[in-house]
Structure 1
Amino acid sequence: MEIKGIERDALNFILKVSESTAPLEFAGLLHVDNGIITEVIILPGTESSNRSAIMKLFMMPNVKSVGSVHSHPSPNIKPSKADLQMFSKTGSHHIIVGEPFDEDSWRCYDRNGYVQNLPVLESEVNDR
């Protein structure tokens, strides 16, 4: 599936939740609608600490997930070995957010850990 981008509202949600849960990591799955990431799915039973966030993938509802999102409690937004293992199980697009949790402190990666371009799109609701 071709991913056209992420809605600004979804990115703002990711940034705010990441900041509010710090220093614990935040984690979720990226919901896609018509090729656009529109929401974050937070799985029941997700465990967060200042070193990791563990999602219970067996709790994943029947939704279209294109990848994952999680925060790092530091400015380092490069994927770790554990991140790459998770990427291989959860889709093609993976966002990592770090301090200071603003529009310049996130990146999207493919399942192999290479940076992907992910345009931020204005919400269709706001365009009406």
Structure 2
Amino acid sequence: MKKIKGIARNTLRFILEVSRSSYPNEFAGLLQAEDGIISEVLILPGTESGESSALLHLFMMPNISTVGSVHSHPRGIVRPSNADIQMFGKTGNYHIIAGYPFDLQSWKCFNSEGEERELQIIDD
């Protein structure tokens, strides 16, 4: 498992902006890291997005390494559902949920069991 130091500020801004522009639908993607910093969001082809869920088709994932996932909660509840936790275990150990209003105070990171974890924002 890769040791993650944090998330690049521009990557977090991208996540919040895409979440905002997808509203009222959910947005979902996968996280990639370089040199221990989450710096990329991979959006899989065929991802389905609605007001109450986003469905990632993991079979569409190319043969690449991911450290976790990201998705939005348009209703603003920034904690994982049971369905979220089931998906977390398939994609890594860093999972970001961005909640409405999609600002720097309305997101959290969780481990694959759904427990909140700290994730430092790193200036890039």
Runs of 4+, deviation exceeding 4 Å: none
SS in 2 for 1:20: helix
User: Superposed, which structure 2 residues align to 1:43-62 within 5 Å?
Assistant: 43-62=44-63
User: Superposed, which structure 2 residues align to 1:36-47 within 5 Å?
Assistant: 36-47=37-48
Choose 1-10 or 59-68, whichever is displaced more: 59-68
Q: Indicate whether 1:69 and 2:70 are aligned.
A: yes
For residue 63 of structure 1, report the CA deviation from its aligned partner.
2.2
For residue 112 of structure 1, report the CA deviation from its aligned partner.
0.5
For residue 108 of structure 1, report the CA deviation from its aligned partner.
0.2
Q: Could you tell me which residue of structure 2 aligns to residue 2 of structure 1?
A: 3
Give identity over the alignment, percent.
Answer: 56
TM-score (norm 1): 0.94
For residue 74 of structure 1, report the CA deviation from its aligned partner.
1.3
Q: Could you tell me which residue of structure 1 aligns to residue 16 of structure 2?
A: 15
Q: Could you tell me which residue of structure 2 aligns to residue 107 of structure 1?
A: 108
Aligned residues: 123
TM-score (norm 2): 0.97
Q: Could you tell me which residue of structure 2 aligns to residue 126 of structure 1?
A: none
Q: Indicate whether 1:89 and 2:90 are aligned.
A: yes
Query: Residues of 1 paired with 2:46 and 2:21: CA distance?
Result: 19
SS in 1 for 2:67: strand
Q: Indicate whether 1:116 and 2:117 are aligned.
A: yes
Query: Residues of 2 paired with 1:33 and 1:63: CA distance?
Result: 12
Q: Which runs of 5+ in 2 are unaligned?
A: none
Q: Which runs of 5+ in 1 are unaligned?
A: 124-128
